[in-house]
Amino acid sequence: MKKGSRYGLHRSLEPKGVLPQPAWRVDNSMEVWSNEILIDVETLNIDSASFRQIREEAGDDEERIGMIMQRIVKERGKHHNPVTGSGGMLIGHVAEIGEDLRDRSQLQAGDRIATLVSLSLTPLVIEEILHVNKKTGQVDIRGKAILFESGLYAKLSDDMPLKISLAVLDVCGAPAQTRKLVQPGQTVAVLGAFGKSGLLVLKQARKNLGIRGRLIAIDRGEAGCGLLQRLGWADFVLDVDATDPIAVMEAVAAVTNGAMADLTINCVNVSGTEMSCILSTKDEGTVYFFSMATSFAAAALGAEGVGKDVRMLIGSGYTKGHAELALQLVREDPNLYEVFKERYGG
């Protein structure tokens, strides 16, 4: 067996020498290098911003969604959406462990794992698309994938249905970062609060705040906002279009008497929401962009354009202990569990 780079550089084909995430194309041949793990893939969880774009391109037709996914993987060797730049993650069974990892790894062939690195860097082969779930972005396939030596993963336990774990783990970076950011007494706004990451962020923010501070949930549509009301974690639920910066700003101003948010967390899956976050945040406040539909330039130049002195953070998918924290949040709150079960379970 050949030994590759810890970070998977040996798989980058175009251009060579870069890491597999920024590479345009990676080598997805399925012979295992000595420090790689081969996975039999069951289900892909396509990143929400990416899946939304693919649905649009496919005119919401299931078969065409599958064809676009096949095309992306054929072209790039990985499910790296060229429009949004984002990936997603997967679950499957360990098929083979490279010889250099066999002693060190906690894994055994047959274990069921979820990868915690993006599909945008994961060598992947889709042999067959079995089922596309348009509502959840989860796609059952027959296929194979490679995990690099540095690649994070979570072993799945039996106490939670698979599809729920998959949904939670896809966005597990968000609540863990929220835990680090939210201070008691703050005013916190969450955009896209009814989505996967939004719900986890909202719940974690409430935990950090306790009874001090104000929590503002923003999403659109009566159904979602009604449920957010009933969940009761937010002090205010605002039904407003996150792509309308003035409407969002005014709605946040109204419930804060013009004081605005100390921290705004963006969990929306559509583009064009940077200014809504910036304008809803206090001077010297913080915006946390978890959304993969965020444009770096729009955020950097937008804040300058309106003279807003805000700290803006790029939402990394990773921080220590993120997977356990997110799963625990769902386990410990029956209402949160119920929502995830209804949406993704079964």
Ligand X SMILES: NC(=O)c1ccc[n+]([C@@H]2O[C@H](COP(=O)([O-])OP(=O)(O)OC[C@H]3O[C@@H](n4cnc5c(N)ncnc54)[C@H](OP(=O)(O)O)[C@@H]3O)[C@@H](O)[C@H]2O)c1
Q: Report the interface residues with its own copies, using CB under 8 A.
A: 7, 9, 17-22, 84-87, 116-118, 120-121, 150-152, 173, 243-246, 272, 274-275, 289, 292, 294-320
274 interacts with ligand X by CB under 6 A: no
Tally Cβ neighbours within 10 Å of residue 104: 10
Residue number with CB closer to its own copies (114 or 237)? 114
Among 217, 268, 279, 299, binds ligand X (CB under 6 A): 268
Among 55, 79, 112, 196, binds ligand X (CB under 6 A): 196
220 interacts with ligand X by CB under 6 A: yes
Instruction: Give the Cα separation of 288 and 191 in Å (integer).
Output: 10
* Nearest alpha carbon to residue 102 among 34, 9, 195, 55: 34
Residue 192 near which of ligand X, its own copies, none (CB within 5-8 Å, type-dependent): ligand X
Residue 17 near which of ligand X, its own copies, none (CB within 5-8 Å, type-dependent): its own copies
Instruction: Give the Cα separation of 4 and 75 in Å (integer).
Output: 23
Residue 319 near which of its own copies, ligand X, none (CB within 5-8 Å, type-dependent): its own copies
Residue number with CB closer to ligand X (27 or 47)? 47
CA 222 to chain centre: 24
Residue number with CB closer to ligand X (188 or 267)? 267
Residue 331 · residue 337 · CB < 8 Å: yes
Burial of 295 (0-12, 13-18, 19+ CB in 10 A): middle
What count of residues does the chain have? 346
Instruction: Give the Cα separation of 200 and 208 in Å (integer).
Output: 12
Residue 198 near which of ligand X, its own copies, none (CB within 5-8 Å, type-dependent): ligand X
Which residues touch 274 (CB under 8 Å, ≥6 apart)?
266, 289, 294, 295, 298, 299, 302
293 interacts with ligand X by CB under 6 A: yes
Residue 223 near which of its own copies, ligand X, none (CB within 5-8 Å, type-dependent): none
Residue number with CB closer to its own copies (33 or 289)? 289
Among 192, 213, 245, 285, binds ligand X (CB under 6 A): 192
* Nearest alpha carbon to residue 288 among 319, 257, 311: 311
Residue 214 near which of ligand X, its own copies, none (CB within 5-8 Å, type-dependent): none
Burial of 133 (0-12, 13-18, 19+ CB in 10 A): middle
Residue 70 near which of its own copies, ligand X, none (CB within 5-8 Å, type-dependent): none
Residue 117 near which of ligand X, its own copies, none (CB within 5-8 Å, type-dependent): its own copies
Using the contact rule CB under 6 A, the part of the chain among 19-27, 102-110, 288-296, 322-330 near ligand X is: 288-296
What value, to the nearest 5°, has the Cα angle with vertex 192 and ends 286 and 119? 90
Among 27, 36, 149, 219, binds ligand X (CB under 6 A): 219
Q: How far is the CB of 121 from ligand X (least distance, A)?
A: 12
Tally Cβ neighbours within 10 Å of residue 82: 11
Which residues touch 100 (CB under 8 Å, ≥6 apart)?
1, 3, 34, 35, 149
Which residues sit at the interface with ligand X, rule CB under 6 A?
47-49, 86, 170-171, 173, 192, 194-198, 219-221, 224, 241-243, 267-270, 290-293, 300, 304, 315, 317
